Amino acid sequence: MKSIRLYKQGTIDTSDLQFEDITIPEPKDDEIRVKILASSVCHTDLHIIEGDLPLKKSPIIPGHEIIGTIDKIGKNITQHKVGQRVGVAWLNNACLKCKFCKQGLENLCPNAQFTGYDNDGGYAEYVVVPETFAYPIPDIFTSEEAAPLMCAGVIGYRSLKLSNLKQGQTLGLFGFGASAHIVIQIAKYWNCEVFVFTRSKNHQQHALELGATWVGTTKDQPPHKIDAGITFAPSGPLIIDALKVLDYGGTLAINAIHLSDIPPIKWDYLWHEKQIRSVANVTRQDAKEFLELAGKIPIKTTVTAYSYIDVKQALKDMKESKINGAPVLKFTE
């Protein structure tokens, strides 16, 4: 099968990403094999490729926002069938026995494995995954439209939950890439006002088109303080900027797997029962809840399609905020 494998980390241009034909993987007894129709490109892929996150396996096929159809199943499979369209997300496996897994928090499992990081992911024609970590996709979405839902969407949904946002309140989004452009649609569905803080003029315009009440940079003063906030950029100083406009009792959720150091926080910025919450991975329940909600709203994802041979261009365009929404790789036309 066609694949893109990472051997050595570096910048987008210097990293050792190889286009290779390799053997199609065979599913184990409790696994399904998915023929990939679309695979979205995520900032976490960029962190893995450029070395912000340690390389766990070499070579590794990156990618964890996968949509495809099941073409082969293991002998113990009961929940899925051949021909079914499913999505595969970042969380690839967990022990299901530890104290976290028993609480439904398999995202915190010490033995969790992740797609495109511990196990081969979606920058290929096929992928295998345990059946309980694959999710049916609502028919309303094309495969390209659905791909960003599997990480940008699911982690955005979890961030919203951890931000404690309530219907009718004001949400602040700091950064406006793939995840934020989905989150704003959920917030608007919940009748919330949304302020968007981003330097990109293209992203500001995109936010307005999706219903933002106000857009600006972190140096601008919004109309009033926010009740909840979510940061998306891997910038520690951004946390201070967000706390400055967070109202009393508000929660700031940090949606980032990698973050530069947060500068010292003045007590005045955190006092009055403000909270900071990190967002670590997602659970299977998050994925199920979100996909149902996404189909109900329905979410309209903005995607830019790239051939797999243009993967470095997709990564660059995402890194440099040259596109709205999410880039999506295709292995077939």
Give per-residue pLDDT as tens, 106-165. Answer: 999 999 999 999 999 999 999 999 999 999 999 999 999 999 999 999 999 999 999 999
Percent of the chain with pLDDT over 70: 100
For residue 333, the model assigns a pLDDT of 56
pTM greater than 0.85 (yes/no): yes
CATH number (domain holding residue 147): 3.90.180.10
Cβ-contact 117, 56 below 8 angstroms: yes
Residue at a domain's end among 236, 262, 278: 278
Q: Are residues 127 and 17 part of one domain?
A: yes
Average pLDDT over residues 225-231: 98
Q: Are residues 159 and 82 part of one domain?
A: no
Q: Are residues 106 and 94 part of one domain?
A: yes
Average pLDDT, the chain: 97
Q: What is the pLDDT of residues 247-282, one digit of tens each?
A: 999 999 999 999 999 999 999 999 999 999 999 999
Range of the domain at 37: 2-151+282-330
Percent of the chain with pLDDT over 90: 99
Q: Are residues 199 and 161 part of one domain?
A: yes
Q: Are residues 9 and 125 part of one domain?
A: yes
pLDDT band at 32 (very low <50, low <70, confident <90, very high): very high
Q: Are residues 207 and 196 part of one domain?
A: yes
What tokens were used for 167? 């219907």
The count of domains in the chain is: 2
pLDDT band at 331 (very low <50, low <70, confident <90, very high): confident
Closest CA to 190 of 210, 204, 169, 218: 169
Would you list the DSSP string of 236-265? HHHHHHHHHTEEEEEEEEE--SS-PPPPPP
CA distances from 266 to 55, 219, 225, 244 (A): 35, 18, 18, 10
